[in-house]
Chain A
Amino acid sequence: MCLAIPARVVEIADNDQAVVDLGGVKKDVSLALVEDVRVGDYVIVHVGYALTRLDPEEAHKTLALMAEAGLNPEAA
């Protein structure tokens, strides 16, 4: 219910702080709620905090599923 957006981590600083990039816009966020985040990872950001890492493989799978032309075998 909460406005959150995926952004790429471009810099990691001390104190659980990081800089993320969304479409060329950079913002400071906190990494206090996540672990093992590396530069280049995508995280979901909400009110200035990274909530979780985004899994790029799952993202591709989901998109492929949505774009598939084939029908679900159980459908009529």
Chain B
Amino acid sequence: MSGTVKKGYARPLDLKHGRVDLSHGGGGRAMVQLITELFANHLGNEYLAQGNDGTVLPIGTSHGPGRLVVSTDSHVVSPLFFPGGDIGCLSVHGTVNDVAVMGATPLYLTAGFILEEGFPLADLARIVTSMARAAADAGVKLVAGDTKVVEQGKGDGVFITTTGVGFLPEGVCLGGDQARPGDAVLVSGHIGDHGVAIMGRRENLSFDAPIQSDTAALNGLTAAMLASGARLRLMRDPTRGGLAATLNEIAHQSGVGIHLDEAAIPVRPEVEAACELLGLDPLNIANEGKLIAVCAAEDADALLGAMRAHPQGRDATRIGRVTDDPNRFVQMTTRLGGRRMVDWLAGEQLPRIC
């Protein structure tokens, strides 16, 4: 026994084999250690380093005249790790995108973690590094955070809530109530990937060409779209409820109808096949790296050009138009040449046998 342990030595977190326990949420030294060695280590920056109860941000002084955009999202996805992503990057992308589709530049994020006692620290480390990478890629900084621990059995491993803050310059006025009859409706790429990546895992489907979640930050794409000069009315990301829910929301908010062309809606063949097997409709399935845009019809080509020039918009295409409809229906010309409504679902989409 050498007895030469350095003064002030503190045993580091066992990120390989350790697990979250109740002390990590207790506000004491164990929690500080978790924050310092894991969260701040990967997500730290000059704002987080302020180390106070509230973080002071320079918004309003460094960006010129404009407004703030704020958005918040909670993430409870299961499984936590799925093909193409995990709850960490998903929580960054989701909130970044909600800010970006308003036409704002996302700047700052906060993150609240609810951890379940017993959750492996190795998995938490994976999630946190994934968040850090996603935030860096999107150019946003994590400026405040919180951690709580609940007893085993009372949480699904980890829940994450992120809030995003962005800067919206004067003159940009996008909104769900801005769509006008005659406008073009565009989508930035293939729909249904995220939901099928998750459900396929759950239902034990295996894929030749594996379907990955499309989770991605879209602020680069939205910036390119705003710079294109097209008269953009709104952008929105079709997450829960899929394309159908989002288009119905827009139709209701704007007091218009929407008419889609089924043959124009991009769906990967494997996504379509998985939906057939499970009895699901791709229009109702969540997307985490796509957006819908509505613009003046004459500007659609220019907007599509700008989108396709960007990696997140290569497969962007026009899928329909806004119509004058007091009933605010979303309708579609089917591949067969008939017509049907695209309604939003009452609840969660469930696979059917009938």
Q: Does residue B146 face the partner (Cβ distance < 8 Å to A)?
A: no
How many whole Å from A49's CB to the nearest CB in chain B? 11
- Asked whether A25 lies within 8 Å of B206 as measured between CB atoms, the reply is yes
Q: Does residue A28 face the partner (Cβ distance < 8 Å to B)?
A: yes
How many whole Å from B207's CB to the nearest CB in chain A? 6
Q: Does residue B209 face the partner (Cβ distance < 8 Å to A)?
A: yes
Q: Does residue A3 face the partner (Cβ distance < 8 Å to B)?
A: yes
Asked whether A26 and B208 contact (CB < 8 A) given A3-B279, A5-B276, A5-B277, the answer is: yes
Q: Does residue B273 face the partner (Cβ distance < 8 Å to A)?
A: yes
Separation of A25 and B275 alpha carbons in the complex (Å): 10
Separation of A2 and B353 alpha carbons in the complex (Å): 6
- Asked whether A26 lies within 8 Å of B207 as measured between CB atoms, the reply is yes
A contact patch SS: strand
Mask, B119-163, CB within 8 Å of A = 1, is 000000000000000000000000000000000000000000000
- Asked whether A24 lies within 8 Å of B353 as measured between CB atoms, the reply is no
Residue on A nearest B353 in the bound complex, by CB: A47
Asked whether A23 and B269 contact (CB < 8 A) given A2-B354, A3-B354, A46-B353, the answer is: yes
Separation of A22 and B218 alpha carbons in the complex (Å): 32
Q: By the criterion of a CB under 8 Å from any partner CB, how many residues of chain B are at the interface?
A: 18
- Asked whether B272 lies within 8 Å of A23 as measured between CB atoms, the reply is yes
- Asked whether B208 lies within 8 Å of A21 as measured between CB atoms, the reply is yes
- Asked whether A27 lies within 8 Å of B277 as measured between CB atoms, the reply is yes
Separation of A1 and B354 alpha carbons in the complex (Å): 5
How many whole Å from A28's CB to the nearest CB in chain B? 7
What chain A residues lie within 8 Å of B270 (beta carbons)?
Answer: 23-25
- With beta carbons under 8 angstroms apart, the residue of A3, A5, A24, A28 that contacts B207 is A24
Q: Does residue B352 face the partner (Cβ distance < 8 Å to A)?
A: yes
Partner-A contacts on B (CB < 8 A)? 200, 204-209, 269-270, 272-274, 276-277, 279, 352-354
Interchain residue pairs with CB less than 8 A apart (22): A2-B353, A2-B354, A3-B352, A3-B354, A7-B277, A22-B277, A23-B269, A23-B272, A23-B273, A24-B207, A24-B269, A25-B205, A25-B208, A25-B277, A26-B205, A26-B206, A27-B204, A27-B205, A27-B206, A27-B277, A28-B204, A47-B353
Partner-B contacts on A (CB < 8 A)? 1-3, 5, 7, 21-28, 45-47
A-B complex: 7 closest residue pairs judged by Cβ atoms? A23-B273, A24-B208, A25-B273, A24-B270, A22-B273, A26-B206, A3-B279
| Other A-B pairs beyond A21-B208, A23-B272, A26-B206, 8, CB < 8 Å | A3-B279, A5-B277, A23-B270, A23-B276, A26-B207, A26-B208, A45-B277, A47-B353
